[in-house]
Structures are given as structure tokens and as C-alpha cells.
Structure 1
Amino acid sequence: MEKQIATTIFESLSSGVRLDVYRLLVRQGHTGMVAGEIAEALGLPPTNMSFHLKAMAQAKVVTVAQEGRYMRYRANLSLMLDLIAYLTEECCAGNPEQCLPRTTSLPCMPSELLCCSQPDEI
């Protein structure tokens, strides 16, 4: 991942509303949600929602699929995992064998991404 792409991702999530949207979509997994459902779940006006979703889609933080007259949004989990890998690629000064194993497992995150942590931080 290039630094500019990482910066774009962070900029797209720098709004509290967008961060809430992304986290909601992560919880939905592959099912995703249409804009009206997202707005309703977060208690936001639908017109406000389309502005935020457009910005997130441009940054590729979410993917969009046409379903009839609706657009279904899904969190781009592979992009987020790429971002995490980019942020942690220099973990333990480039010596991944020094990284501590994860004690808890997340289904969408490889265990090797949490490294150099103290056991009480895990």
C-alpha cells in the first residue's frame, strides 16, 4: 500500500459519522446495507447519508453494488486489512519472529497482524 492511499483512507474516516457508518457496515459483514437502512440505524437524515457514503466510496473504504433502485454498501474489509498490514509491516523492526501471537482470534484478521504487544495489551 502506498502512503497516499493510507492517507486517503484515514481522511475518509476522520468524520465521526463516517466512522460510525464503517463500523456498522463491518458488523453487517457481506450482507451490507442500503443507504436508508444505514441512516435509520444511525438516526441520521438520508440526505446527509448519501454525502458521506459517496466520500467513503470514492476512498474505496466501502464498496457499492446496484440492487434495483437501491445501492448496497459493504465495508471493504480487504482494504482495511491491507491498511493494517501497511501500518504494522515494520513491526519489531522488521523481525516478525519477535512478534507475540494473538491470544484472541478475529475471523477477519490474521493473527500475525498483532505484534510486539505486551501480553496485557492484547
Structure 2
Amino acid sequence: MDKKLALAALASLGQETRLDIFRLLVKAGAQGVPAGEIASRLGAVQNTTSAHLKILHHAGLVRAERDGRVVRYVADMTGFRDLLAYLMEDCCNGSPELCRPVIDAITCEC
């Protein structure tokens, strides 16, 4: 991940509704959540939710999957892991093995 994409990802998560959307999608796992359901679960306006999803998508944190007429959104865990790896790249004064417990804790089979 490069600096520009990391900044976009961090900026996208720095807004309350987008952070709520991302956390909802992480919790939903691989099955994701339909766009309209995201809005209703969060008590948000559907048009605004679509704009937030677009920002998260461009930041590499969510992906859209078409299921017939329904667009289902899923947290892009690869993008999220890439962001975390970028942030921890030079951790522990150049001794990344010291950060292994943190890296192991955030690694999942999703």
C-alpha cells in the first residue's frame, strides 16, 4: 500500500457514519449486507449511505457484489490488512518480529 491510498483509507474511516458502516460490514463477514439494509440498520438516508459506501470503496475498504438486483457490500479485509501492514511496517524500531503478537491478533481467515 502506498501513502496516498493509506491516507484515503484513514480519511474514509475518520467520519462517524463511514466508520459505523465499515464496522457493520466487518461484523457481517463474508456474506456482507445489502446496501438498503445498511442504511436502515444505521438509521441513515439511503442516498447518503451510497455516497459513504462509494468513498469506502475508493479507499479499498469495501467491495460491492451484485446478487441479482441487490448490491451487497462486504468489508475488504485484504485492503484493511494492507492498511494495518502499512501502519506497522516500521514498528518497534525496525524489529517487526516484536509486533508479531499484534499482527497475529488481527489476522483472521475472512
Query: In the aligned structure 2, how far is the partner of 1:30 from the partner of 1:100?
Result: 25
Greater per-residue helix proportion: 2
Query: In the aligned structure 1, how far is the partner of 2:11 from the partner of 2:57?
Result: 12
Number of the residue aligned with 2:46? 46
Aligned residues: 108
Larger radius of gyration: 1
1:101 aligned counterpart, secondary structure: helix
Q: Percent identity?
A: 43
Could you tell me which runs of 5 or more consecutive residues in structure 1 were left unpaired when the two chains were aligned: 110-122
TM-score by length of structure 1 reads 0.78
Map 1:1-122 → 2, pairs under 5 A: 1-99=1-99, 101=101, 105-106=105-106, 108=108
Query: In the aligned structure 1, how far is the partner of 2:95 from the partner of 2:16?
Result: 35
Q: Give the counterpart letter for 1:87 in structure 2.
A: L
TM-score by length of structure 2 reads 0.86
Query: In the aligned structure 2, how far is the partner of 1:21 from the partner of 1:12?
Result: 11
CA RMSD of aligned residues (A): 2.0
